[in-house]
Structure 1
Amino acid sequence: MSFVISSPKDIEKLALFLEEMNSKRETHIGYCGEQKQQIYATLISDFSDLDLARSFVIAYVKDEIIGALGLDIDEESKSAEVWGPFIKNRSEYLGLADELWEKVIELSRIEMNEFSFFVNEENSFAKDFAINKGAVNKGNYFVLKAFRNDLKTVDLTQIETYSLLYKNPFTNLHDTSFPNTYYSASEIVYRINDHNQLLVMLDNERKLTGYVYVEGDPEHKEGSIEYIAVIAGNRKQGIGTKLVRAALAHLFSFEEIEEITLSVAKNNERAINLYKAAGFKEVHELTYYVWNK
């Protein structure tokens, strides 16, 4: 059956197609969300430095979407996260993924340096596609989720919101734990608002033993745990678990947020055990591929 490849005609219809495809492990891509509203919001306001017309291509049979592929492009670094390829009825449309790829590369009109793929371990089609393009396996990750309905009573004893009283110990712990990271200690403090919160854990002498920094985005029904750290001498006392649960309590205080998703390297057993102890559940295993041109 013949098809036509073009830029998206209807973003809402595209979001619905991606929701359907990403609900199944065998067609799941880690970069793409799993709920139509979340996907739509990303496509509208947070997808690629280029217009959607230059960074996403769709295959149509009449008005039905049968395939899609997008590049979430960072113009400065000339890199892209690959959404897809998503192909319905793959056996009927052999070669469609390559045609979608060639079209989106043509439309983007950028000489890219790097492409990255985040593919469900059960999505053999997308894994083979990435490998055939020359991408290299850079490791596996678990996707973990925490759900509002699973979070019961949270013990907030000895947990407080950040104040200037804790500036020095917080800064020292952050700089030691995350050297050369994307947010400095001062930038974290600057970003604090009603949605973004920095929580600290204190001992009986009111000395800081750990912290967690979270960012909430109720408008898009999302939230993230950006940083968590515990002073070395205070580890293995349940402080990390308590901080994560406090972080979830803050994020779930926004009725729009129903779940929190994060990814952790498969070999990072300490982090995985921490998040699972705090209530996260493993939902996907993804393979990370990188193609450096």
Structure 2
Amino acid sequence: MKADILDHANLMQASEFIAGMNSLPQCHIGYLGTSKNDIFHSLEEMNNDSESAAFIVWKDGAIAGFLGVDADLNKGTAELWGPFVQRYEFMRLLWEKALHYFEGNLHSYFLFADTANLTAAEFAARNGFKLQSAQTCMELKGNPSNDLRDVSLLPPHCHSEFIHLHDTVFPHTYYTGKEIIGRMNDDHKVYSSGEADGLNGYLYAEYNREEKEGSIEFIGVDPNKRMKGIGRNLLEMAIHDLFMNSGAKSIKLCVETTNEKALSIYKKAGFKVERSLNFYKLDIRE
């Protein structure tokens, strides 16, 4: 029994295998969707990314284990898509294959798994991952309001101010302010709130046209201007734009479970709790 590298010929088979598991809380990994088509497109992108790789274990002619490594070699970090396994011993095969493949190129690995996913929890414990936070993932379906709203997008002259604010509020996260600026397009938007004295706050959201799904990635407010409803106004602006202008059918977000104030704001906006996940990190330099 050994782990092989996933190739293009196995993408559909792997998508079906993952879709069958990721829809179950006890197997769910937060970096992937639950529909076969969504997963197929994610695997296709990974397969075309020279920095990343995925590994599979076969048993009796069928896939019995999968682990994807969505890597950023420039940062030396990677998100783990899995492990999705039918038997515990397959975890070791997949992980050893991944570590050997990326040896010397990656120093940090991230795992985002449903709290009910005991397989992922055991994998994390066995391999030295440390629990970083508990996250509550929420979803808003349908547009709760048809009220007209002005949509304010981040103007070019505020780019440097935005970068400073984002990197201050979220100093160690998956996108820097500069990276978000580089991602901005019709489906990746930064909504802004500002006055004469500068930028008060922002919200960064992404839209998946194929799935008709929006995602709220970051909401940042100037620490000196909080408690003034800026975050809520930005949220309402993004919800309106995603539903009314982009055509979203649903919007998702994740927030730290301990952030009761944010949870309250999202619930008042109509978001419902979808699932709870644990975020783990392994730093092999430690």
What is the TM-score normalised by the length of structure 2?
A: 0.78
Q: Does 1:112 align with 2:112?
A: no
- Aligned position for 2:119: 125
* CA distance, structure 1, for counterparts of residue 154 and residue 101 of structure 2: 49
Q: Match for 1:87 among 70, 85, 88?
A: 85
Root mean square deviation of aligned Cα: 3.5
Check the 8 A contact 1:78/1:114 in 2, yes or no.
yes
**Could you tell me how far 1:215 is from its partner in structure 2?**
3.2
Larger Rg: 1
**Could you tell me how far 1:68 is from its partner in structure 2?**
1.0
Extract unaligned runs of 5+ from structure 2. none
Higher mean displacement: 192-201 or 67-76: 192-201
Amino acid at match of 2:11: I
State the SS of the aligned residue for 2:270: coil
Q: Match for 2:255 among 264, 267, 275?
A: 264
Q: Match for 2:246 among 248, 251, 254?
A: 254
* CA distance, structure 1, for counterparts of residue 12 and residue 219 of structure 2: 36
Deviations 1:133-189 (A, max 9, x none): 011111211111222x3x2324345x343486x967x9768745653672259x74x
Extract unaligned runs of 5+ from structure 1. none
1:139-158 paired onto structure 2 within 5 Å: 139-147=133-141, 149=142, 151-157=143-149
Mark the CA change 1:269 to 1:7 in structure 2 (over 3 Å): closer, same or farther. same
Q: Does 1:216 align with 2:207?
A: yes
* CA distance, structure 1, for counterparts of residue 234 and residue 70 of structure 2: 33
- Aligned position for 1:228: 219
**Could you tell me how far 1:196 is from its partner in structure 2?**
3.9
**Could you tell me how far 1:234 is from its partner in structure 2?**
7.1
Deviations 1:222-242 (A, max 9, x none): 433344355678755655334
Amino acid at match of 1:41: H
- Aligned position for 2:30: 30
* CA distance, structure 1, for counterparts of residue 91 and residue 183 of structure 2: 41
Deviations 1:34-89 (A, max 9, x none): 2222222222125795466xx2111222332221112112212322222221112x
* CA distance, structure 1, for counterparts of residue 67 and residue 45 of structure 2: 18
Q: Match for 2:92 among 98, 103, 111?
A: 98
* CA distance, structure 2, for counterparts of residue 51 and residue 232 of structure 1: 37
- Aligned position for 1:40: 40
Amino acid at match of 2:3: I
Q: Does 1:136 align with 2:134?
A: no
* CA distance, structure 1, for counterparts of residue 194 and residue 146 of structure 2: 16
Check the 8 A contact 2:190/2:204 in 1, yes or no.
yes
Deviations 1:196-242 (A, max 9, x none): 44445689x9x987553433341464433344355678755655334
Check the 8 A contact 2:112/2:280 in 1, yes or no.
yes
Mark the CA change 1:228 to 1:78 in structure 2 (over 3 Å): closer, same or farther. closer
State the SS of the aligned residue for 1:100: helix
Identity level (%):
29
* CA distance, structure 1, for counterparts of residue 201 and residue 74 of structure 2: 35
* CA distance, structure 1, for counterparts of residue 222 and residue 230 of structure 2: 10
Check the 8 A contact 1:48/1:73 in 2, yes or no.
no
* CA distance, structure 1, for counterparts of residue 214 and residue 236 of structure 2: 14
Deviations 1:231-267 (A, max 9, x none): 6787556553343233123223334x43222221112
State the SS of the aligned residue for 2:29: coil
Check the 8 A contact 1:242/1:278 in 2, yes or no.
no
Check the 8 A contact 2:51/2:73 in 1, yes or no.
no
* CA distance, structure 1, for counterparts of residue 183 and residue 91 of structure 2: 41
Deviations 1:76-117 (A, max 9, x none): 2322222221112x3xxx412111212233344545312221
